[in-house]
Amino acid sequence: MPATRKDIIRQLQKDILLWQGVTPPAAAAVPVGLGPVEEAFPHGVFPVAAVHELLSEAVEEAAATSGFVAGLLSPLMQRGGACIWISAARQLFPPALKAFGVEPERIIFIDLAREKDVLWAMEEALQCEGLAAVIGEVPEISFTASRRLQLAVEQSRVTGFVLRHQPRDLNANACTARWRIRPAPSQPEPGMPGLGFPRWQVELLKVRNGKPGSWLLEWSAGRFQPVVEKTDEQPQVQVKKTG
């Protein structure tokens, strides 16, 4: 019986996770609306009390990463918590967040002169219970620093995002997941001029106890939408162009 076999395997996986110290998420878990991407995480739930690491090389990738994080913030901020954005050289333009369902006035920006202070401020902010999320823009993070952040979020259950723009060395650290977000060509509605909804190639490079993968996501109608296989779409586009 394949159904029972599937159940047995699922049960075994759950047991393994339990032995590894990964507790099943609380019933009141926040769905962040990542769709298929969430399946990559243990128990199929986006880990909220965790530190996520997002890599970017070019400025355009950094912009895409900011947009992706903003998309994640809107469900996280549903419960009324504020959000803190810490950086040493901020270029984020607050009005843009409105398009991702985030109220820009509920984000507090901490603009620091030195990158060294960013991690200190992040740790201090992550210890504050009830915040929706803490975002820190810092290129380098050591194992010890990431461990400190991890310990802070385990206590407070705040979500932390470390935006690493042009990191020098990708050492192992204690972050739960490592992402890379790249902009992808948008697809306007058939027959419409201009640009379509923002699309990103979302890569999950490392996940603790999960399965890394790569997905194409689109931000439309106020939530993440998975884009059907690229190969399927390619001929469609050509059809439209010729037609």
Partner 1 sequence: MAQRFVTIWLYQLVTDWLTIRRPDLQHQPFVLTAPDRGRMVITAASTTAQAQGICAGMVLADARAIMPALQVFNDRPGLEEELLRALAKWCIRYTPFAAIDPPAGLILDASGCAHLWGGEGPYLEAIITRLQAFGYQVRAAMAGTIGAAWAVSRFGGRHCIINSGKEQEALLPLPPAALRLEPGIVERLQKLGLGRVSSFIAMPRSALRRRFGQELLLRLDQALGREEETIQPLEPVLPFQERLPCLEPILTATGIEIALKRLLEALCHRLRQEGKGLRSAVLKAFRVDGQVAQITIGTNSASHNVDHLFRLFGHKIATIEPALGIELFLLEAPKVEALSTQQETLWTGGCGLESARLSELMDRLANRLGPDCIHRYLPQEHYWPERSVRPAAALHEKHAAAWRSDVLRPVRLLPVPERITVAAPIPDYPPMLFRYRNQVHQVRRADGPERIEREWWLEAGPHRDYYVVEDEAGRRYWIFRSGHYDGSQPHWFLHGFFA
Give contact residues for partner 1 (rule: CB under 8 A): 58-60, 62-64, 66-68, 70, 79-82, 84, 91-100, 103-113, 117, 120-121, 124-125, 128-132, 182-186, 188, 193-196, 198-200, 219
Q: Supply the minimum distance, in Å, between the C-beta of residue 153 and partner 1.
A: 14
Q: Supply the minimum distance, in Å, between the C-beta of residue 86 and partner 1.
A: 9
Q: Which is nearer to partner 1, 182 or 206 (CB)?
A: 182
Task: Residue 101: count other Cβ atoms within 10 Å of its Cβ.
Answer: 16
Q: Which is nearer to partner 1, 132 or 173 (CB)?
A: 132
Q: Which is nearer to partner 1, 35 or 104 (CB)?
A: 104
Distance separating alpha carbons of residues 46 and 65, to the nearest angstrom = 17
Q: Supply the minimum distance, in Å, between the C-beta of residue 119 and partner 1.
A: 12
Compute the chain's Rg from CA coordinates.
Answer: 19
Q: Which is nearer to partner 1, 12 or 58 (CB)?
A: 58
Burial class of residue 82, CB neighbours in 10 A (0-12, 13-18, 19+): middle
CA atoms within 13 A on the CB side of 11: 6
Q: Which is nearer to partner 1, 95 or 243 (CB)?
A: 95
Helices 143-156 and 115-126, interaxial angle, to 10°?
A: 20
Q: Which is nearer to partner 1, 1 or 113 (CB)?
A: 113
Instruction: Give residue 198's identity as a one-letter amino acid code.
Output: P
Q: Supply the minimum distance, in Å, between the C-beta of residue 144 and partner 1.
A: 19
Distance separating alpha carbons of residues 103 and 15, to the nearest angstrom = 40
Q: Supply the minimum distance, in Å, between the C-beta of residue 175 and partner 1.
A: 22
Q: Supply the minimum distance, in Å, between the C-beta of residue 137 and partner 1.
A: 11
- Our CA angle for 170, 171, 176, nearest 5°, is 90
Give residue for tokens 């002169």. Answer: 113
